[in-house]
Amino acid sequence: MTQRLTPVELMSKLVSFPTVSRDSNLPLVDWVEDYLREHGITAHRHYDETGEKAALFAHVGPEVEGGVVLSGHTDVVPVDGQPWTSDPFTVEERDGKYFGRGCVDMKGFDALAIWALVEAHLLGVARPLQLALSYDEEVGCVGAPPMIERMLEVLPRAELAIIGEPSTLQAVTGHKGGLGYDVHVVGFEVHSSIMHRGVNAIMAAAPLIDWANQQNAEDRARTPSELGSMFEPPWTTLHVGQISGGTAHNITAKDCRFGMDFRVVPGEDPEEWGARFEARVAEAEAEMQAVHPDTRIELRRKFRVPGLQPEEGGAAEGLARQITGDNGRHVVSYGTEAGQFQERGYSAVICGPGDIAQAHQPDEFITVAQFDAGHDFMRRLVEKLRG
């Protein structure tokens, strides 16, 4: 008989695959697909354009619409330079905690979701359960939209999605949207003593970054909307976290590269913010080209993540609250794949074990108590689906 792994055993196996976003996740996908197949479950893949990464999704129960999706991502952030006290890709239990990269974000939930899918298949359910494991969530939630499109083509349409990002099993019903750009300012090099004849890419980039400062100040001074006031901070934020450029201190910089990221409160359109930024970039580029025609500013859209809007009488929220007993109002300022499911017509909620404060940290962990609570959540979910 095929061995049924416990949730902890499943988590340990998933963590053992170093699926940092820059690398392939196919070994993990291969293993999960084989494990599901051994238990009689057919899984489907959707590859990215490189063929080096894939999303995996599956359906158990009757072939009808109206089911529940358990959604997680397979990628993790790097451990480079972090002072871990144990092997980050080996789950270690100590002091009432499970340590390992991804234990909380979010291979712990992935393991619980795989366990629930197998359990639902073997016990039988009246309402379908689906599993959705994406790639590249950590670099802008770019893997979920094509996965969702493929799911809608292949599987019966589910009614709701539970996205298992760590929320200490509270029902989170709203999050900010996101928009990100890579910006490359291309200047024209001359000796700095005649800088007026050249275009310094760093100095041309500076007004664009200062524009972000100005927008942040204006947003902060504005009275937030009722929905926006639930967030911390209660306004849309613009952020530049990295910048590089220049050749030498006495040469006008030929290149300057930076990233511009937006975290947009629900009720505001990320695309409107993008249009405002692109218009400001066009102004800056025109000023540069008035000095030298070979200069330019190149923009590359890194990601767009829609916000998660609280739903009036939402089915996903209702189910999560029935299982957990949580009746509080919760929102988060980071983005997730929940908004992407909602954008495609699913009712969506964030509800997963563990504390987001532990995500991306050295010695990342999920407490044993939270993991066990997540196991209880899945048991109750399967029972509800059995009818």
Q: Which amino acid is at 241?
A: G
Asked if the bond preceding 203 is cis, omega within 30° of 0, the reply is no
Q: Which of 137, 138, 268, 317 is catalytic?
A: 137
**Of 71, 29, 69, nearest in space to 48 by CA:** 29
Name the H helices within the chain. Answer: 7-15, 26-38, 107-123, 144-154, 201-221, 270-291, 315-324, 338-343, 368-386
285 is a catalytic site residue: no
Distance CA 6, CA 9 (A): 5
**Catalytic one of 33, 75, 105, 110:** 75
Give the 3-state secondary structure of residue 190.
Answer: coil
The upper half-sphere exposure of residue 54, i.e. CA atoms within 13 Å in the direction of its Cβ, equals: 16
Interatomic CA distance for residues 293 and 136, integer angstroms: 38
Report d(CA 272, CA 278) in Å as an integer: 10
Q: What is the dihedral of CA 99, 105, 108, 112, to 10 degrees?
A: 170
User: Has 287 been annotated as catalytic?
Assistant: no
Residue pair 365/103 in contact by the 8 Å Cβ criterion = yes
Give catalytic residues, as residue numbers: 75, 137
